[in-house]
Amino acid sequence: MKKLLVLSAMSLSGCVVGPDYRPPVVPPTRPASSGGFAEAGGPTSSQALPTRWWQLYEDPALDRLISDALAHNPDIRAAAGSLAQARAILSEQRGARLPETGLSSSATYNRVSPGGSLAGSAIGAGRSVETDYYSSGFDASYEVDLFGGVTRAIEAARGDVDAAAAQLDAARVAIAAETARAYVQSCSIAAQRDVAGQTVELQRETLRLTRSLADAGRGTERDVRRADVLLAQSEATVPTFEAERRASLYALAALTGRAPEEIDADASRCTAPPPLHTPIPVGDGAALLARRPDVRSAERGLAADTARVGIAVADLYPSVRLLGSLGFGGTSPGNAFKPSGFSFSLGPLISWNFPNQTVARARVRQARAGADIALARFDGTVLTALREVEQALARYRGELERNAVLRRASRSSEEAAALSKQRFDNGADSFLLLIDAERDRANARGELAQSDRSVAEAQISLFKALGGGWEQAPWPQRRDLGSR
């Protein structure tokens, strides 16, 4: 009993070996006082990113689709399952602080033949001995956390839970952005298809006029064929745009947890990308790193791997378990619980891998290397987060400038085509000049429609890089395929 008291005192004063975790220092970022990522007069503002950034588009269909994806997307559901699994592991590690207990009960029949090893008058007389034996017992053991191995295991499991929660949020960020991207792609491709259709109609009219002029002797068959070639080239783009639009709609359905053929009616009717009427709120670097789930996941993973160093170091020291058991036994059920059948045992079990600690020390080196890898990954994740935002901003600004130039070119090409047709009808210009003007107008329209799509996609890429959209998301649930 005195030894047990000593061991209890040791457990209360036991140390926790291994390094204590300290959050790493992040690289300097743009402070809010300097405007953060925003530039004066630019397409962004230094305001904080809203919780549901997609609502800036003021598009009810987009809002509904992203809410649907956050609630039912399979990738988000898988990340939620990983979080639940990590929480169960944490609960298991916390259970190591409690004694392990077990109940047992048995009934056995024994028969010893005359040639057995037991001595006795019955055996000596050449007769077998047959006995029944009934027993029941209660066993308990408790690991004394002298050197903090259990404490570090709980810390590691807690870090894994936090990392899994951040990974769930990262999945939400990715799915919200991909859903918005699929939606604006389908809308933008529909706009490109409509532009191509309008060009086709104009060129059909040009072909009709050209034939009329050729029949009247004011043109040639060569002019008719060239007009027909231009029309065919424009007509060939329409099926491609329609196929791409439907592919985006199929992707959108899958993102919301539906079968691909269950195309959303509102998305199918959309014929123009939703406009953004306000500058994109980007905040500053510090807010970005605090918001991005991948940065949080990397930091929590580093915390878990640091705790695993302590687990490995604790294996270098003795392990102490307190063991105890109570039992009753007898040759009949009635005798088993009599005082004469009572037995007990109590005492410590000390184990230590010493002096050969080659394996244990190798595991310490492995754990330390794992922590170094986690730190490098954290630094890389931070730099990646900052790089992605800067790249997305640069591409967004560049595409906006390109879009403004293409919009001016489209207006000029419309005017030039109208003037060329008027001069051709009056006999002042050749048919070659008219065809060139028609081709320039078709190219300018197509490039502007493609640029409008690129602007919308650049906005989504920037929102994704900013890492918002995971806040206030619901816990995902499975949707039966085929349900609407």
Retrieve residue 368's tokens: 């330390």
End-to-end C-alpha distance for the chain, whole angstroms: 69
Q: How confident is the model at residue 37 (pLDDT cuts 50, 70, 90)?
A: confident
Least confident of 167-171, 194-198, 340-344: 340-344
> What pTM did the predictor assign?
0.86
* DSSP category for residue 116: S
Q: How confident is the model at residue 38 (pLDDT cuts 50, 70, 90)?
A: low
* DSSP category for residue 430: -
- As a whole number, mean pLDDT of residues 125-148 equals 85
For residues 455 and 430, the answer to whether their CB atoms sit within 8 Å is no
Residue 310 lies in a domain: yes
pLDDT of residue 433: 85
Residue 267 lies in a domain: yes
| Domain span holding position 212 | 16-98+149-317+360-466
* DSSP category for residue 118: -
Distances, alpha carbon 377 to alpha carbons 17, 75, 287, 305, 313, in Å? 25, 23, 20, 12, 23
Residue 484 lies in a domain: no
- As a whole number, mean pLDDT of residues 314-336 equals 89
Check whether 118 has a pLDDT greater than 50. Answer: no
For residues 322 and 144, the answer to whether their CB atoms sit within 8 Å is yes
345-393 pLDDT per residue, tens: 998 999 998 898 999 999 999 999 999 999 999 999 999 999 999 999 9
Check whether 6 has a pLDDT greater than 50. Answer: no
pLDDT of residue 430: 79
Question: Directed axis angle between helix 149-215 and helix 60-72, to 10°?
Answer: 140
Residue 116 lies in a domain: no
- As a whole number, mean pLDDT of residues 415-442 equals 85
- As for how many domains the chain has, the answer is 1
- Tokens 């028969």 locate to 111
SS (H, E, C) 240-262: HHHHHHHHHHHHHHHHCCCCCCC
CATH of the domain at 379: 1.20.1600.10
Residue 329 lies in a domain: no
Residue 254 lies in a domain: yes
Note every long-range contact of 121-125, with CB atoms under 8 Å and residues 24 or more positions apart, other chains counting: none
pLDDT of residue 1: 46
pLDDT of residue 33: 46
* DSSP category for residue 316: T
Most confident of 123-127, 213-217, 276-280, 406-410: 406-410
pLDDT of residue 13: 44
Rg (CA), the chain: 38
pLDDT of residue 379: 95
72 in helix, strand or coil? helix
Retrieve residue 258's tokens: 């539906």
pLDDT of residue 431: 77
53-88 pLDDT per residue, tens: 999 999 999 999 999 999 999 999 999 999 999 999
Length of the chain: 484
Residue 104 lies in a domain: no
DSSP characters over 351-390:
E---S--HHHHHHHHHHHHHHHHHHHHHHHHHHHHHHHHH
Check whether 113 has a pLDDT greater than 80. Answer: no
Least confident of 23-37, 132-146, 275-289, 306-320: 23-37
Residue 139 lies in a domain: no
